[in-house]
Structure 1
Amino acid sequence: SENRFAAIFAASPHPMLITTLEDREIIEANDAFLLLLGITRLQMDTQYGELIRGNELMLQIPEPDEHSTVPEGISREVTFTNHAGDERACILRTVRLDFNGELLLLTMISDLTEHKQYEHELQRLSQLHLVGEVAAGIGHEVRNPMTTVRGFLQLMLMQGKNTLEPAYLQVMIEELDRANQIITEFLSLAKDHMVQLKRENLNDLIRKILPLIEADASVTGKIITTHLTDVESIEMDNKQITQLILNFIRNALEATGENGWIQLKTYMQDGRAVLVIEDNGPGIPADVVEQIWKPFYTTKENGSGLGLAVCFSIANKHGASIDLSTGKEGTAFYVRFRTT
């Protein structure tokens, strides 16, 4: 029976750890547990378990009360950072074992990290879906009277038959145009806003819109560089992908200060065409990173909070994913497109 237990323990896909109850000395850890902590069996054997004992996970393992009658022990949900630098979310379950008169502690772990990620993605998609439903319902109705008002203001400005200063009329027109642009972004989130996919090359699109990007950069005194390597063509709606790139670029231009630069890169990775927009800005604070994809969330004084939400929606419609890395030296967004 001991041999059976040892074989099941070693082969189990669920991370498990056995320690002494009194001083938590490590008796055995299966391969799934080592994988969760980001270490190898060789590292554990050569470093006498110090990599395990030094991990913050060990401090969070609950200990069942000796008088507890609950056969499954006790559970606790915890988060920790493994030796690979990845944050993991888990449920720990611990039970006491009486093994030949020696009290041991068996810890079984359920890794919830992917479940939490899926839950987070579903929440973001649900928010976009809700905004899209609203956009589809009222976006066009709001835009139509605005267009009429703008037309009459433009006519009054051209004819000069008004009691207001022309500058006032111009400001009103500009504000209407700004509101119209926000509605345009709002409508791009609409559920019924269909994409017209056509197989095209990402590099060709970037080269086509590069003069526009460089013009935006030159106005603010920033530098745009590109490093485009051969990538496979992808199914895309070039208008929407253009909007995605411009949204990222304009955010980067606003984020960078003096001597700011933005780099556009493309390359193939794991069968996907990857687009990278990188800048040398101050980075995004940790408490903001989780919020930036939410519609209407913004840290800008005059921002609409729709730019990155639109990017996320466009990527989702193209079956692409967006990741980012950020720090004091800058921020990089990675958009990964399927090529098949």
Structure 2
Amino acid sequence: MEGSQEMEEIIRIEDPEIDAREIMARIEERLRAREKDLPPEMAMEELEEWGRRVKVPRYDDPLHELSLAIEYARHYAPVSADHPIASSKPVIGPLVVLVKRVIRKFMRLYLDLVFSPQSAFNGEVLEALEKVRELLMEERALCDGAAFDRLSYYRRWGEDRERVKERVAGAVELFPPGTEILNLYAGRGEFLLACSERGREALGVEGDAGLAAFARESGLRVEHMEPRQYLERTATESLKAVFVHEFGERNGRAELYRVVELLGHKMAKGAQLVVLNHCPRSLFACEAAYRDPTVLRLVHPETMHFLLAAAHFQKVEIEYLADPEETAAREELAGLLAQWEQARPGAGGIAGELLGPAFYLVKAWR
């Protein structure tokens, strides 16, 4: 208590001739003047431009931003007395600058000793960040090297490209004419091919480098980037039409949830999303889907409906589609199902459900 009273006595200004407000105003003015000499905070666009000038390596992920930040910080890591000297005095300003320069020259040795610990600390921080970046790049190289070669698989064992194109072609007509369609997880570009054949503008986004390059070789517009990152960089409510084939079947749950959430923010009011997925209630779908080693799971249509509704899609419709090649197999099974139903009422219905349409189509509007 006594200490606080003593502090109050120390900071109390009894002299009526001292104008505390004027003193604070002068301090604020000097601080504003000094702010002009400090390095300003840069927007990401300015940092990108700066990175192009100094040729910082480009990465289509957050590692690029880290590289830019490291290189930018490197310019300000050394701390010394060599900062710009200026004066706001209109008449005696040049004299003030001259005096400051002379004083700094005599005090340089002292200032260098004062600033050297900070410079050393900044250097150690930069070195640590460099090591973090190297570790991330090494981890990236290991992951890329161990990645499954989907293009080679599709060329040898995968489903025929023309057949997939015919399956997704019907979705093209669901979008309003004249609207450019964004195709996420574009794969080999089957949907983009269908759009091209019908004179529709479409842009694909594919995270697999081999598949993206293959689609480009076919003359298709494809961005090599993970769809989640592409959406994160897209302006809010700017997308008018989006198509996704096998949505969520090759990614983790967190990826699926995040992309659905982003679509809810990035698609314009009234914009349409169309999804064509394998139906997990169908044995035909499970057999066809899990032949592909990159498929992790099948997303139930009711789950997809829930996720889209939670992302503020105003209207969601689901339609079940059979693969044309299933027709012959269904006809062969029809008689067997009838026999099962006669022998055990209800058994035929359950079997029919399991042998139902292999795909489901989702139409959703923001």
Name the one with the larger strand percent.
1
Do Structure 1 and Structure 2 share a fold, with TM-score over 0.5?
A: no
What TM-score bracket applies, with the shorter chain setting the length?
Answer: under 0.3
TM-score under structure 2 length normalisation: 0.21
TM-score under structure 1 length normalisation: 0.22
